[in-house]
Structure 1
Amino acid sequence: MSKKLSGKVAVVTGGSAGIGLATAKRFVEEGAKVFITGRRQNELDKAVAEIHGDVTAIQGDTSNLDDIQRIYEVVDNEAGHIDVLFVNAGFYEFGKFGEISEDHFDRTFNTNVKGLLFTVQEALPLLSKEASVILNGSIASLKGLPSFSVYAATKAAVRSFARSWILDLKGTGIRVNVLSPGHTETPGLANLWQEGTRERVVPTVPLARMGQPEDLAKAAVFLASDESSYVTGVELFVDGGAAQY
């Protein structure tokens, strides 16, 4: 059985847990050389031990331009190019309208919008011909969710970036797509939700279950591989149908 990402170099930001970790693991299984990033070295070390393969961890905060540049220096020195860039690092917390603080706004936009933009822009010199860029979106890009307006606005911006960047990159062969999860079992979501929230949410999902990080990882492999070579500018929802009502 051929591996779908054999010989490819992939970078996964926010790769130490949840969707990022599951995707990095799947990329390695599919034959890619993978670099993962994260803010906490101890979590990165645990992720490397769990992945068991050709993976390199680089500590850094992708909301910080200096860290982004340092991350790519390591990638350049060790691999020389990038075939797949999964911009997965993100930040979310509740912020009820009327009580939104400047700190909440800045933290959310600095990671999800500013950080994402410069993570892609600084990668451009390293992106190979026909590279795949995958942006982590959310069903919040089109659904109203209580106390989540700032986060939702960042994900709408992510969707907008993809639409514009495929035109800016016309002729390069580089593809940009958005992978948008719904309610997914991740450590971050578990810490955010109050007791009983999960039980209330699951019945609202048409497939009647929470998503798993592996569900997103499988879709990411499709977008990263040559199987999606004529797919660009789309938002692929992996959400059990939650965005469709």
Structure 2
Amino acid sequence: MSRLAGKTAVITGGATGIGLAAAQRFVEEGAFVYIFGRRQDALDTALKTLGPQARTIQGTISNLDDLDRLYAAVKEERGSLDIVLANAGTGSQLMLGKITVEHCDEILDTNIKGTIFTVQKALPLMCPGGSIILTGSSAGTTGSPAFSLYAASKAAVRNLARTWAEDLKGTSIRVNVLSPGPTATELAKAALGEEGVKAFGAANPLQRMADPAEIGAAATFLASEDSSFMTASELAVDGGLAQI
């Protein structure tokens, strides 16, 4: 039997990259998936890829009304929710000394506040034994030049899982962090170019960037009963980058 048969999942930031790879794997494993993202064109393309076991809703996680629309649709159409992959996030470079208030607001509102309310608003729909997965990053452990706010926000996400595991005692709902390293999404490849991809890949012991499907496979593990005795944990899928 498929590992996620009959399950309902929400994936934020799921129209491209890691989110889409996870959605594809969830659907293959039998789940019905709600993809939530900012760009309608990307959502439309994702839906063509995912087929009838998926539904898309446009919005941003920093807009609480958009999150309310998402979960209202889940409640009306599915009744309950088994899996939340809080994957939406943002990051941009600014060196210390050049950080602006606008930069702080953009990253912290999305990566911390958005993650908090993505999960909190899902809780009334979550089934016992449900799985909450927060997308972290190797940068939350290692730091990265000019990415101080992004790295700090991902370190905060790691601690949210630790704290929420305590808050969720007695519910049998699990919460874990999936922390990728550099991943060869279409966006990353376009931004870095061939030489940049090689340079980023060379920084870890496996000497390559991850394929998004590898991150999607790890997300499926955390979503399924295969990880039933894991909570408050971090699963690093980073080629060893933050481990040595």
Shorter-chain TM-score range: over 0.9
Does 1:105 find its partner at 2:104?
Answer: yes
Amino acid at match of 2:7: K
- For the residue of structure 1 that corresponds to 2:242, the secondary structure is helix
Where does residue 161 of structure 2 map in the other structure? 162
Offset, 1:186 = 1.6
Offset, 1:53 = 3.6
Where does residue 184 of structure 1 map in the other structure? 183
Does 1:203 find its partner at 2:176?
Answer: no
CA distance 1:191–1:110, shift in 2 (3 Å):
farther
Which consecutive unaligned segments of at least 5 residues does structure 1 have?
A: none
Cα deviations by residue, 1:198-225 (Å, 9 ceiling, x for unpaired): 2222222111111011001101111000
Cα distance in structure 1, aligned partners of 2:233 and 2:137: 13
The residue correspondences of 1:123-142 to structure 2 (distance < 5 A) are 123-142=122-141
Does 1:4 find its partner at 2:8?
Answer: no
Cα distance in structure 1, aligned partners of 2:227 and 2:164: 17
Amino acid at match of 1:236: L
- For the residue of structure 2 that corresponds to 1:179, the secondary structure is strand
Cα distance in structure 2, aligned partners of 1:187 and 1:91: 16
CA contact (8 A) 2:198 2:208 kept: no
Amino acid at match of 2:188: L
Where does residue 19 of structure 2 map in the other structure? 20
CA contact (8 A) 2:18 2:216 kept: yes
Where does residue 218 of structure 1 map in the other structure? 217
CA distance 1:76–1:92, shift in 2 (3 Å):
same
Offset, 1:192 = 4.6
Q: Identity percentage over the alignment? A: 50
Offset, 1:72 = 0.5
CA distance 1:187–1:103, shift in 2 (3 Å):
farther
Amino acid at match of 1:103: E
Offset, 1:95 = 1.3
CA distance 1:36–1:235, shift in 2 (3 Å):
same
Runs of 4+ in 1 over 3 A off after TM superposition: 190-196
- For the residue of structure 1 that corresponds to 2:205, the secondary structure is coil
- For the residue of structure 1 that corresponds to 2:182, the secondary structure is coil
Number of residues of Structure 1 aligned to a counterpart in Structure 2:
244
Which consecutive unaligned segments of at least 5 residues does structure 2 have?
A: none
CA contact (8 A) 1:44 1:57 kept: yes
Comparing 109-118 with 46-55, which one deviates more in the overlay?
A: 46-55
Where does residue 71 of structure 1 map in the other structure? 70
Cα distance in structure 1, aligned partners of 2:191 and 2:81: 33
CA contact (8 A) 2:184 2:197 kept: no
> TM-score w.r.t. structure 1 length?
0.96
- For the residue of structure 2 that corresponds to 1:142, the secondary structure is helix
